[in-house]
Structure 1
Amino acid sequence: MTGASTTASTSLESQQTTSDVALRPTNVRYGVLGLLCGLSMITYIDRVCFASAASGITRDFGLSGQEQLKWAYTAFAIAYGLFELPAGWLGDRLGPRSTLLRIVIWWSLFTAATGLVGLKFGSLTLGGLTTLIVIRFLFGAGEAGAYPNITRAIHNWFPMKNWETAQGYIWMSGRIAGGVTPLVWAILVSGTTFSTPLLNWRGAFLFFCGLGLVWCVVFAWWFRDQPANHPAVNAAERELIGSTWTPHSHSNIPVKAMLKNRSLWALCLMYSLINYGWFFNVSYFPSYLKDRFQLSEGDLLGAVYAGAPLWVGAIGCISGGIIISFIAERIGDRRRARQIVGCTAMLVCALSWWSVYQAKSIHQFCISISLAALCVDLTLGAAWATCQDLGRQHAAVTGALMNTVGTVGSSLAAWLTGEIVQRYVKQAAASGTEALTAAEKYTASMAGYQAVFFTYASVYVIAALCWCFINASKPLEPEQAAPQVGGH
């Protein structure tokens, strides 16, 4: 009897253990998040490497200064904005898997093409500055839609309460990768006091193209559009996620609902304003830092400082959601918590850019510009989570609209920064009878950048006001809300 009883007890315990395991959610969603974070990292590496290559491109193309690359920066930003909505619509219609594969393959190929422009084969030259501008436009068209479709994937794979945190990890990963890119560039391309260069700037673009293509292979093999289609997801994880989304082959963009939603337009305006000031970090900043503080090629401290706004900003990406959740628990209102963090962060950002305007040393300068970037990134998770709240099953399109309007700020900054600096140099040249000396040109260009920094400080005050009008509790239209299972 004792043996039979023991056997029965063991069998019962085994069944209970098996039942407990079956009830415990699998963690496939975290693998999805890891893949998406990897994509975010590659996205920023491929953006920032162009800014790191600016001095080499300027030299090899025979340009007088990096401000002559303003249309290359602007072309990327314009294309990025123009193709956001179509790429977001494809994600909502077909699902993020096929859409992201198209996006990453396209931009990886044009990353490689960037390194080939101007290459000489005997008497043949593969284009010049105009060709480079066209390539950067096509690169921007490729990258468009990456973050809206990442948002679509998060919407499908994570419960609503985790949206801001997941978005924080996505943006943190991108910022960290962008922040270390100048350091990686110094080791790979410029060389340091401890190492010799491994690649020239052209080879580096080919290398970064390869990273994107490798990611595509892994993503295509493992990712699925929704948890129900992934063989490793159990019923408990599907229930935890609670996703009811399926691709819509005839999904339409809710244009009228978007046009009528004041919160969405306040969100879009705010995003455009923060992009206007932030774009400096991934465009003119590395070369500006080297010129202003007379840094040598391969200066490791300079490389660390060049990436500081991004890797310091990464702290804001992940801590923003935590801070908002903390405040929301205290006041019982997540919308108000987002507004409090958004308004406060934007005002501190404006003060930081004002201190950038006043900074005298490289240490003061980098602390101020990094604090400004930190404040911007504190609000990123809230901004993209608000897109999900407002758009629901149209989350990718809503995110794409915000990013499209946001690139207006990036485009304006890319062009206007170079234009203002060039005008200051031209005015200095016009005031004298002889050509400018190197010292005179340096003084004029630095004065131009100071004027630019003042415009950055100004726009963040307006961005703070925008947060007062963003109400995430009102989706685009009642019929745009996620469908209720079992409803009529």
Structure 2
Amino acid sequence: MNSPPAQEPTRFRYVILALLCLLAMITYMDRAANGSAKAAIMKDLNDQGSSYTEDDFFWVLMAFQFAYAIFEIPSGWLGDTRGPRSTLLRVVLWWTVFVALTGFTGMTLPVVGFVGFTALIVIQFLFGVGEAGAFPNISKSLYNWFPASDRGFAKSAIWMSARFMGGMTPLVWVLITDPEVAGLGWRQAMWLFASAAAVWCVAFFLLFTNKPNDHAQVNEAERAIIDAGRSPPAAHAGVPFAKLFASRNLLALCGMYVVTNFCWYFLMYFLPGELKSQFPEASKTLGGRIFVALLSGAPLLVGMGGCYLGGVMSDRYIRRTGDRKWGRRLIGMIGYGGAGLCYFLAAGVKLTDPNNLLLFAGLVILMGFMNDLMMAPSWAVCQDIGQKYAATVAGTMNMVGNLGGAFTGIFVTGWIRKHYPGTDGILILFTIYGVVYFIGVGLWMFIDASKPIVPDEPQADTAAS
């Protein structure tokens, strides 16, 4: 008698991945909108009698950054103990409210009164509280929905999406607010961005479950693919914080992520202004200003390729060799080494050929690509060593990394830019960034993705084969 044909596996996990990629895009879109709106926001405040400059907006960004950092672990804990579905719905709805409230800055409201600069800082702090829950719970969701062999690929898709939207948001903002295109005001643009997040929540509520076993659209064949190599789920006894925080593996991971945020924040917060001030001739015409703006966003756009390639290379190395430790570590070391070298070379160009915009910007753009080679492997390590506590581990890494980035942004990058304006500041900063990246290469040597902190599933190096 002929045996029945094998069941064709469904592929619903890719629908889940698409949902999470959209969330990553919305996260970066809402965050990057502040940089695009800051001139208009400060103008509206000053029209009401204030006397702020665009440089003062730095404190608004830092309020967001500190909140984003310190609420990573609580958000990760919620995802690990209550599931990513309810946690993501809460945090996205939370930050949607505060993105919308940002649009009221500079207005006088009934009962509330004038929404001024101090209120804007508070609003952005609370916005950061919400966004802190996004990536740890995305990481937890991918751990639940993807097999170990595809985690690097899945994380690369997430970070490609985030970098794409971060790089495109300035252009999207222009298309929405330019009088010759859509012609909306900055407030309406903020409310439109908030609406996009609210629509995402509806789709997520309808399509997402915490685990594949809970979803009617996932058949047994796909569940078998996702669960390959996992142990049967054990009862959840709470997050073992003492073991997590005592792990040298996690400490090295956190130190490594400080390196990324210290050196990468320059691209997010300072590069557009520095290109304008360092190369003033290029910004004298409309075409030149558009070109400089494109160069400013290019490191994030090119970083998409780094995110994708880093995840694919990491997973492929593990499948071919069975060596998870070096499959994650090697890609991170290559990325950091290349990024550090790019900063050194860009400093050299500024010293020897100070007016060469294309070569200078090209090296900075290449630095963005090299940095992002390590994004997917580093977040995949959170899943590898965190396992059922992946959200807490990812939240810890992101918290420490962003706190480090915020402090160094104020006390190193900000201080140097203030006291050493012009070329001298660029030379000092880029030399420091290059050295720090090579310290990061050393930190990767202490990260071992094959050693889970609290073993849950079999972690033999062949698990990814």
Residue 389 (structure 1) aligns with: 384
- Could you give the per-residue CA deviations for residues 300-349 of structure 1, whole angstroms, max 9, x where no partner exists? 32332221111100001111122224444565523123222222221111
Match of 1:34 in 2: 18
Could you say if the C-alpha distance between residues 482 and 304 of structure 1 is closer, same or farther in structure 2, counting changes exceeding 3 Å? same
| 1:23 match: secondary structure | coil
Equivalent in the alignment of 1:160: 148
Q: What are the residue-to-residue correspondences of 1:213-232 with 2, within 5 Å?
A: 213-232=198-217
Match of 1:418 in 2: 414
Say what the alpha-carbon RMSD is for the aligned residues.
2.7
Distance 1:330 1:297, change over 3 A: same
Identity among equivalent positions (%) equals 39
- How many angstroms does 1:39 deviate by? 0.3
- Counterpart of 1:38 in structure 2: which amino acid? L
Give the conservation status (yes or no) of the 8 Å contact 2:45–2:105.
Answer: no
Q: Matches of 1:445 and 1:363 in 2, distance apart?
A: 18
Residue from 240, 245, 250 that aligns with 1:254: 240
Structure 1 distance, partners of 2:298, 2:237, is 42
What code does the residue aligned with 2:340 have?
A
- Among 351, 370, 381, the alignment partner of 2:341 is 351
Deviation, 1:48, is: 1.1
* Residue type at the aligned position of 2:417: V
Report the residue type matching 1:199 in the other structure: L
Match of 2:290 among 297, 300, 303: 300
Task: Tell me: CA distance 1:79–1:173, structure 2 relative to 1, closer, same or farther (3 Å).
Answer: same
Q: How does 1:267-306 map to 2 (within 5 A)?
A: 267-294=253-280, 295=283, 299-306=289-296
Shift of 1:145: 1.7
Task: Give the Cα–Cα distance (whole angstroms) in 1 for the partners of residues 234 and 29 of structure 2.
Answer: 31
The answer to whether structure 1 residue 237 and structure 2 residue 225 are counterparts is: no
How far does the alpha carbon of each residue in 1:45-64 deviate from its partner, in whole angstroms, 9 at most, with x for none?
11111112233334444466
Q: Which runs of 5+ in 2 are unaligned?
A: 460-465
Matched-pair contact (CA < 8 Å) for 1:71–1:415: no
Matched-pair contact (CA < 8 Å) for 2:255–2:401: yes
Amino acid at match of 1:462: I
- Picking from 30, 33, 53, the partner of 1:46 is 30
Task: Tell whether the 8 Å contact from 2:104 to 2:187 is kept in structure 1 after alignment.
Answer: yes
Match of 2:463 in 1: none
Aligned residue number for residue 462 of structure 2: none
Structure 1 CA distance for aligned equivalents of residues 410 and 103 of structure 2: 22
What's the secondary structure of 1:151's corresponding residue? helix
Q: How many residues align?
A: 443
The equivalent position to 1:460 in structure 2, one of 437, 447, 451, is 437
Distance 1:208 1:165, change over 3 A: same
Q: 1:413 to 1:65 in 2, by over 3 A?
A: farther
Give 1:459 shift. 1.4
Aligned residue runs from structure 1 range 105-116, under 5 A: 105-116=93-104
**Correspondence for 2:125:** 137
Cα pair 1:104 1:212 within 8 Å, conserved:
yes
In 2, Cα distance between equivalents of 1:308 and 1:344? 21
For residues 18 and 114 of structure 2, what CA distance do their matches in structure 1 show?
A: 38
Following TM superposition, by how much is the alpha carbon of 1:377 offset from its aligned partner in structure 2, in angstroms?
A: 1.0
User: Contact conserved, 1:277 with 1:413, CA < 8 A, in 2?
Assistant: no
Compare CA radii of gyration and give the structure with the larger one: 1
**Are the counterparts in 2 of residues 279 and 413 from structure 1 also a CA contact under 8 Å?**
no
Cα distance change on mapping 1:247 and 1:477 into 2, 3 Å: closer
Q: 1:420 to 1:126 in 2, by over 3 A?
A: farther
CA distance in 1: counterparts of 2:369 and 2:91, whole angstroms? 28
Aligned counterparts, 1:7-156, within 5 A: 19-20=4-5, 23-62=7-46, 65-120=53-108, 126-156=114-144
CA separation in 2, counterparts of 1:307 and 1:413?
22
Evaluate the alpha carbon distance shift between residue 231 and residue 330 of structure 1 in structure 2; reply closer, same or farther with a 3 A threshold.
closer
| Aligned residue identity for 1:114 | T
CA contact (8 A) 1:317 1:377 kept: yes
Structure 2: distance between partners of 1:57 and 1:297: 23
Residue-by-residue CA offset, 1:385-433 (whole Å, 9 max, x unaligned)? 1111111111111111111111122212432333332334xxxxxxxxx
CA–CA separation in structure 2 for the residues paired with 1:88 and 1:269: 19
